[in-house]
């Protein structure tokens, strides 16, 4: 392994991975590269627990808050930008430290994505408009009629993936399921990187998730959602489905009390964390698993592990 080989740090929400990455970056001369699907959005600093301005001043951070919420960011775009970010860090003599909790982004990095052709803007716009007007379940029925194999893979409540399947089918005449079987080109080869998967005790993780959302409420989560709603964005956009947006929007509209909105957001977060852990356990068996502990000692443990590989 080279001295500037990438370090990948994956873990569920609120497990402490960002803090560990920050300590590692300061110790190793690293650049932190985002692998969280919601932390890319400019308008969602508080609700996504994006690194603070102070953290960003300590070490370089890339792919954070650089996309407007009005855009639907994709794994394909992430793979392209992550490749550039990795090259930029290494060209600057810094260790790339990729950190996040979005499994699909790590999959795009280490396995590559299928070579699906670009979708004409008019096709993409048409299906997004239909999603906004008709809702995800209705489009899932359309997909079931046209491409039952792909429809069976998707939840009827997932507008982004349903729209993706429909637009690919219309633009190429080939099921997205077929395209996904084609191999992609990895951005990072796992045998040339240090891949760390972090875990925590479930009870401790639940407590951390709840405490984190309480801090978000103090730090301006409601104001952030109010500003997001003022943009008049369609509900099918990924930023509108970030954890906490829906219950706080309902609170702002007077449909939920502040307490109920907070409890709903916490419950949604716990369910998401469970899905993250299930995905990681299934897809990251070859990664080095470490139980999260005190940040400094865990960072030291990771450094020792890297040294043992070189």
The pLDDT tens digits for 4-53 are: 999 999 999 999 999 999 999 999 999 999 999 999 999 999 999 999 99
- Model's pTM, two decimal places? 0.85
Alpha-carbon separation of residue 53 from 46, 64, 93, 148, 215 (angstroms): 12, 11, 23, 47, 17
> Average per-residue pLDDT in the chain?
93
Does a structural domain hold residue 22? yes
Q: Are residues 232 and 300 in the same domain?
A: yes
User: How many structural domains comprise the chain?
Assistant: 2
Q: Are residues 109 and 125 in the same domain?
A: no
Alpha-carbon separation of residue 165 from 80, 108, 181, 238 (angstroms): 21, 18, 14, 16
Q: Are residues 217 and 149 in the same domain?
A: no
Q: Report which of residues 232 and 296 the model is more confident about.
A: 232
* pLDDT for 90 beyond 70: yes
Q: Which whole number is the average pLDDT over 250-272?
A: 97
In the prediction, which pLDDT does 132 show?
87
Q: Are residues 216 and 159 in the same domain?
A: no
* pLDDT for 300 beyond 90: no
Q: Are residues 207 and 93 in the same domain?
A: yes
Q: Are residues 136 and 19 in the same domain?
A: no
Residue 250 Cα to chain centre, angstroms: 24
In the prediction, which pLDDT does 184 show?
84
In the prediction, which pLDDT does 304 show?
87
Does a structural domain hold residue 37? yes
Does a structural domain hold residue 186? no
Q: Which of 12-21, 168-177, 196-205, 286-295 shows the lowest mean pLDDT across its residues?
A: 286-295
Q: Are residues 230 and 295 in the same domain?
A: yes
**Residue in 68, 74, 30, 33 with CA at minimum distance from that of residue 51:** 33
Instruction: Burial-class residue 212 by CB neighbours within 10 Å (0-12, 13-18, 19+).
Output: middle
Q: Which whole number is the average pLDDT over 73-95?
A: 95
Query: Domain residues for 224?
Result: 7-113+192-309
Q: Which whole number is the average pLDDT over 164-169?
A: 95
Alpha-carbon separation of residue 64 from 37, 42, 67, 238 (angstroms): 10, 8, 8, 15
For residues 11 and 280, give the distance between their C-alpha atoms in angstroms, rounded to a whole number: 8
Does a structural domain hold residue 252? yes
Of 139, 158, 180, at which residue does a domain stop? 180
In the prediction, which pLDDT does 18 show?
94
Q: Are residues 221 and 267 in the same domain?
A: yes
Q: Are residues 138 and 157 in the same domain?
A: yes
pLDDT bracket for residue 299 (50, 70, 90): confident
Q: Are residues 175 and 297 in the same domain?
A: no
Q: Are residues 207 and 101 in the same domain?
A: yes
Query: Which structure tokens are listed for 258?
Result: 């502040």
In CATH, what number is assigned to the domain containing residue 277? 3.40.50.300
* pLDDT for 1 beyond 70: no
Share of the chain above pLDDT 70, in %: 98
Q: Are residues 132 and 90 in the same domain?
A: no
In the prediction, which pLDDT does 293 show?
65
* pLDDT for 218 beyond 90: yes
pLDDT bracket for residue 234 (50, 70, 90): confident
Q: Which whole number is the average pLDDT over 136-156?
A: 96
In the prediction, which pLDDT does 80 show?
94
């Amino acid at each position: 392994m080279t001295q500037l080989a990438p370090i990948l740090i994956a873990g569920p929400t609120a497990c402490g991975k960002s803090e560990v990455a920050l300590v590692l970056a300061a110790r190793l001369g690293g650049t932190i590269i985002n692998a969280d699907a919601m932390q890319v959005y400019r308008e969602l600093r508080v609700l996504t627990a994006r690194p603070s301005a102070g953290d960003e001043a300590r070490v370089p951070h890339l792919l954070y808050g650089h996309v407007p919420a009005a855009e639907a960011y994709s794994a394909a775009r992430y793979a392209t930008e992550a490749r550039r970010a990795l090259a930029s860090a290494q060209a600057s003599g810094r260790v790339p430290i990729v950190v996040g909790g979005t499994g699909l982004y790590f999959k795009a990095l280490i396995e590559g994505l299928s070579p699906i052709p670009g979708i004409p803007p008019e096709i993409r716009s048409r299906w997004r408009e239909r999603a906004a007007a008709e809702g995800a379940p209705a489009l899932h029925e359309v997909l079931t009629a046209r491409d039952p194999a792909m429809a069976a893979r998707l939840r009827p409540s997932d507008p982004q993936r349903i729209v993706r399947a429909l637009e690919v089918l219309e633009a190429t005449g080939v099921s997205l399921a077929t395209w996904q079987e084609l191999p992609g080109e990895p951005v990072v080869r796992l045998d040339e990187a240090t891949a760390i998967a972090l875990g925590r005790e479930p009870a401790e993780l639940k407590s951390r998730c709840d405490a984190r959302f309480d801090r978000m409420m103090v730090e301006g989560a409601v104001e952030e959602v109010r500003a997001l709603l003022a943009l008049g964005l369609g509900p099918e956009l990924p930023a509108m489905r970030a954890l906490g947006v829906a219950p706080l929007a309902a609170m702002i509209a007077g449909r939920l009390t502040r307490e109920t909105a907070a409890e709903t957001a916490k419950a949604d977060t716990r369910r998401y964390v469970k899905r993250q852990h299930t995905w990681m356990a299934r897809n990251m068996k070859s990664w080095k698993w470490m139980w999260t502990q005190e940040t400094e000692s865990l960072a030291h443990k990771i450094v020792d592990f890297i040294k043992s590989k070189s």
